[in-house]
Structure 1
Amino acid sequence: MDALAGELAISRATLYRAVGSRDALLGDVFWTIGEMLIAEASGEATGTGPDRVIAVSRIFAELHGSAEQLRRFSAAEPQTAARVLLTAAGDVTGRAADAQLKIFLESGIEGDLDDLRRRAALYVRTLEGALYGPLLGSGPIDFESAEPALRALLTR
């Protein structure tokens, strides 16, 4: 935060007033990266229904795995990364669930909106288990291992 405040030629107090906390700022940065990856994955995915949702997720997971800045930060500060990415501290999960609901709807997944919202949140948590297995203490989990659980959330 000191370096960023210096780069912006503002005081640390001003920076904290603007962003709230380091975790909030990191959450915004990670979410911005996530949005770009979601947009790219959504643009590349084909098909409809559950197959499209899975395709978006698979492409996203591949892009995420190659995001060097995320990998470096997670390796350097695993506890901070876990807190920011997986708790309300960074609000990444909440925003990801909203984005996942949008992917469901765009892909033609039908159902009660409240039910879809709950399934989107569970879908995101399941995908996070694969993406962030090492941060969660479960070690690497490949997308293919998570796919059956993800697919089960797409049908009633």
Structure 2
Amino acid sequence: MNARPAATDAFRLARRTFMAGDRVDLKSLATALDVDRSTLFRWLGNRDQLLVDILISLSDPTLSAIVVGAEGTGGRRVARIAGEYAAALIGASYYREFMRREPERALRLITTKASPVQRRVVDEFARVLEQECARGELTHPLRTNDLAYLIVRIIESFIYADLITGDEPDAAKVETAVAAVLRVDDVSAPLTV
């Protein structure tokens, strides 16, 4: 006898669907799990909440791993983290497919106050900035949270350039722009990309 599905099963299936580059649809999930939509809603919330949770489940460990592995100090380290994070998002086919398929929803869920996705990325960059300041490797005139927000907006500008300006997404520009904002010497030299 098979066990009844649970909320974790529903989330895992939704995440796998998203990572396969397919549209996450609550009706299809409910059918696949043999539960009614009200049960699925109780477990996962509405579609936007589910997509936010999936995005966070992918973004948080990606950014954390980049932070742990980042070399350098001060502004150069922060710029590297920003560039590598941008490269990871640009290189994730499922992420690009979501942006292509549902651009307005994706931008709303990822880049606005309406979603915790951006807030979590800003908070992580604020932690990195605080570390570098505490080590004496970085000084800046802005409040840390304001600077972290500015860095995240730079990242977003170049990751979503195709949707905003029609240009190709470019992680190298992210790293160069963040290095310039943080007054890293010799920002014209290639950093990592």
Could you give the per-residue CA deviations for residues 102-153 of structure 1, whole angstroms, max 9, x where no partner exists? Answer: 12123334569x8101111121111111111123244224233344442344
CA distance in 2 between counterparts of 1:88 and 1:2 reads 28
Cα distance in 2, alignment partners of residues 15 and 136 from structure 1? 34
Q: Which SS does the other structure have where 1:50 is aligned?
A: helix
Deviations 1:9-51 (A, max 9, x none): 4322232233332112111111221112112211321111111
TM-score of the pair, normalised by structure 1: 0.83
Q: What is aligned with 1:15?
A: 40
Counterpart in the other structure of 1:128: 156
Letter in 1 for 2:90: G
Gaps of 5+ in 1: none
Q: Which residue of 2 aligns with 1:81?
A: 106
Unaligned runs of at least 5 residues, structure 2: 1-25, 184-193
Residues 135 and 15 (structure 1), Cα distance of their counterparts in 2 relative to 1, 3 Å cut = farther
Q: 1:18 to 1:111 in 2, by over 3 A?
A: farther
CA contact (8 A) 1:23 1:90 kept: no
1:48 to 73, 81, 85: 73
Q: Please give the TM-score of this superposition, normalised by the length of structure 2.
A: 0.69
Aligned-residue CA RMSD (Å): 2.3
* Counterpart Cα distance in 1 of 2:64 and 2:110: 19
Partner Cα distance (1:154, 1:15) in 2: 45
Match of 1:2 in 2: 27
Where does residue 124 of structure 2 map in the other structure? 99
Sequence identity percentage: 29
Tell me how far 1:66 sits from its aligned partner. 1.7
Please say if residues 83 and 89 of structure 1, whose CA atoms lie closer than 8 Å, have aligned partners that are also in contact. yes
Aligned length: 154
Partners of 2:179 and 2:60 lie apart in 1 by 22
Bigger radius of gyration among the two? 2
Tell me the distance in 2 between the aligned counterparts of 1:111 and 1:54.
14
